[in-house]
Amino acid sequence: MTSPTYQVTNPATGDVVETFDGATDADIEAALTATHEAYASWKDVPIAERAEVVKKVAALFAERADDLAAIASEEMGKPVSEGVEEAEFCQAIFDYFATEGPSLAADQPIKSITGGKAVVQKLPVGPLLGIMPWNFPYYQIARFAAPNLMLGNTIILKHAESVPRSALAVEQIMKDAGVPTGAYVNVFASHEQIETIIGDPRIQGVSLTGSERAGAIVASLAGKNLKKCVLELGGSDPMIVLDTDDLDDVVGNAWDFRMYNTGQACNSNKRMIVMDELFDDFVGKLTEKALAIEPGSFSPLSSRKAAETLAEQVDEAVSKGATLHAGGVLSDGPDAHYSPAVLSGITKDMRAYGEELFGPVAVVYKVGSDDEALALANDTTYGLGGSVFSTDPARAEKIAQRLEVGMANVNSTAGEGAEIPFGGVKRSGFGRELGPLGMDEFVNKRMFFIAD
């Protein structure tokens, strides 16, 4: 398997800005040794003291938000304002676990009916491997690192090859906040080295956020080595619009959420399912928004390859009869710009029906009943999130309760916050991050019993 190249390629220009050396096998062994040795002491640090360190991590994310945003903008094209928001969200995540972690990790008494005293303890399990994606280069790390550092686990972090500066910036934050040497180690590892890390007996689990293909490979390696894994993979989330008394507001929410991060969010509303009486006006208003975007004012996708893949999916759909209402223009290159698009008329024989469109394309489906909307929403191999909008909350809730997803929302595109668990079902993966469940994955739920 070919080793990846860690380099910064500005997607706005296609220029290679900086290239980094990959880890040697000796570097990987040193990382494994360091994180194993750090675990021996970090796990015994009182959780209140670990919380003080995690709190400092939170403060540094806020303090360095502008710098972090600039790095992400150059590495993967994220709008600077959204990069600042991402860093601030990281602050909230680390603050949440620093504050709530001690109670979330507290012993849970069991009401005994046989005598004696029984509790479930939540203890760390050991060194972990995190494999993170480029689309939210800081937030994805925060979801994984914050609860596990609080628990007393230690971390080896393998980031995406396209965001090495982001990876190093986070590692520096950890060092400056006082995370002990070895408790958080960044590695520019190859695919073969990832396999080595997962197979090493010192590593006790692996968390991956990424593609379905990568998830299948990592899950296979984890299973082969009897290691627990958490996977957050792709999504093709439905947004069902049953009725509304403010179409402009619903369309605005739909467009803003779909275009956030240039359409490159796992839980974006990639399939807008709209009742037939609203469909034409809904599509018309989306089209107006797409056409109103000035050429060159929209951020690029993360890479030229990503833009070309999206263009292929849309072009294939149009060639088979789908309607492209606006946008969908790929730049000549080598930059990664793709104009925001509105697409309808998708049928099952098109790639766009079953594949995730990871970019700024609003796909709209027309349905004639609640049952048809629900059936279409669930007709996917993915199961990350979904939403239902209606002026009748009970009607919307009835459908939302039947969505085959890990996160269901009523009259909101997504419930988001440090305290809100994130994760999916079906081929969107398994396990949860954030909220109380975020401290419930890589933990030894040890039963502790004392007889009378």
- Catalytic positions are 232, 266
What is the residue type of 142?
A
Q: Smallest Cα–Cα separation from 189: which of 176, 203, 178?
A: 203
d(CA 181, CA 131): 20
d(CA 51, CA 54): 5
Whole-Å CA distances, 85 to 62, 66, 79, 139, 345: 10, 10, 10, 10, 35
Phi then psi for 330, rounded to 5 degrees?
A: -90, 135
Q: Is the Cβ–Cβ distance between 267 and 384 less than 8 Å?
A: yes
Q: Is the Cβ–Cβ distance between 208 and 231 less than 8 Å?
A: yes
DSSP 378-435: H-SSEESEEEEE-SSHHHHHHHHTT--SSEEEESSS---STTS-B--EETTEE--BST
Q: Counting beta carbons within 10 angstroms of the beta carbon of residue 285, is it exposed (0 to 12), middle (13 to 18) or buried (19 or more)?
A: middle
Q: How many CB atoms lie within 10 A of CB 83?
A: 26
Residue with tokens 């360190």: 53
Q: Is the Cβ–Cβ distance between 399 and 200 less than 8 Å?
A: no
Composition of the chain by helix, strand, coil, percent to 5: 45, 20, 35
Q: What's the distance, Cα to Cα, between the start and end of the chain in Å?
A: 58
